[in-house]
Amino acid sequence: MSRRTRNPLAAAFAKHFAHSTVTHSEPVTPTMQRIRLVAEQPITFPYTPGQHIRVQINDPLSISGILRPGETLRTYTIWDLHLDERAIELRVHLYPGDGIGLAWAQQVRPGDPVTYWWPKGDFYTTNEAAYHVFLGEETASAAFGPMIRALDPSAPVYGVLESESPEHDLPMPGRHELARVYRHGASAVASQALLDGVADLALPEQPGMAYVAGEARTCQLIRNFLVQERNWPRTAIKVKPFWAVGKPGLH
Ligand SMILES: Cc1cc2nc3c(=O)[nH]c(=O)nc-3n(C[C@H](O)[C@H](O)[C@H](O)COP(=O)(O)OP(=O)(O)OC[C@H]3O[C@@H](n4cnc5c(N)ncnc54)[C@H](O)[C@@H]3O)c2cc1C
C-alpha cells in the first residue's frame, strides 16, 4: 500500500480518502479486534454515528484494483471518532474464514499505513422513535455501539445481540439491558439463535424503530418475523445486510 502514489486517478479522488497510521491493534474479545487509525491530516468529513469507512486493502485505482474491484475495499463502521486526535476506532470481527478484510485485521500492527475512504451510509438512529430495537450478530454489534451512544440517554432501547458464546460479547455503551444469544458452533447464516431471541423479546405493543444488521439471510428472516408476526410496518425496520455468503465486500 503506497502512501505517496503518483497515479493521476488518485489525485482526482484525493478528497475522498485519507492516509492514516495504525496506533493500536488489540483484542477486545477473542474474536473482536480493536483497530485505531490516526489520520495524517485533520478529519473534516461530515459524520453521523453508524456510518462506515471503507478500508483500502488493495488500491482500487491500480490496474489490478480496476480489474478486480471486489478485492480492494472492505467496510467497517466507525466505532468511535476523536476529531481532536484525528483518530478513528474500529471493531473488526475475526470470524472463521479467509476474506481479505479478515486477513488485514489479523495481521495489521501499530505503525502500519492504512488508507481509508471517507464515511458513507444511512444506517443510523433517529431520536424521534418511541423506542429502539437493535438486532444482529458481532458485525452488527460493531455498528450498534455508536448508534446507541448517539441516542438520548433517556431513549428506551431493546435488543438481541448474537455471538458465538458469552466471552465473545462485545461490551455495549450505556446501561441498556440487551438480551444476548449464542450460536455455540452453529452457523450465523439464517441464524435460528437470533430468530429465537427476537421471538422471545418482550416489546411494547406499538412498534418503535428496529435496526437489523449482520448476515443477509438472517436479516431477511428477522424483518419477515417483525412484519408477519408482530405486525410492524416495513418503514419501522431499517435493514442493512453486512455480509452474505458468496458476496464479498458488501457496503
Ligand atoms: C455498512 C457495513 C458496516 C460494517 N461494519 C462492520 C464492522 O464495524 N465490523 C465488522 O467486523 N464488520 C463490519 N461489516 C462487515 C464486513 O464488511 C464484512 O464482514 C466483510 O465481508 C469482511 O470482509 P472480508 O474480506 O473479511 O470477507 P469477504 O471477502 O467480504 O467475504 C469472504 C467470505 O466470508 C464471509 N464472511 C464475511 N464476513 C463474515 C462474518 N462476519 N462472519 C462469517 N462469514 C463472513 C462472506 O460471506 C464470504 O463468503 C460491515 C459491513 C457493512 C456493509
Structure confidence at residue 97 as a pLDDT band (50, 70, 90): very high
Domain boundaries along the sequence of the chain: 3-120, 132-243
Task: State the Cα–Cα distance between residues 118 and 53, nearest whole angstrom.
Answer: 5
Helix (H) or strand (E) holding 102: helix 100-107
CATH of 132-243, one of 3.40.50.80, 3.30.413.10, 3.50.50.60, 3.40.50.970: 3.40.50.80
Percent of the chain with pLDDT over 90: 90
Q: What is the model's pLDDT at position 34? A: 98
Residue nearest to atom 38 of ligand 1 (CA): 243
Task: Name the residue with cell 451510509.
Answer: 121
Residue 93, ligand 1, Cβ within 6 A: yes
Mean pLDDT along residues 9-31: 92
> To test the ligand 1 pocket, which listed residue (242, 245, 247) has its Cβ within 8 A of the most ligand atoms?
242
For residue 3, name the pLDDT band (cuts at 50, 70, 90): low
Cβ of 189 closer than 6 Å to ligand 1, yes or no, is no
Q: Could you tell me the three cell numbers for 177? A: 439491558
Second CATH level (architecture) for the domain 3-120: Beta Barrel (2.40)
Q: Which atom of ligand 1 is nearest to the CA of 123?
A: 1
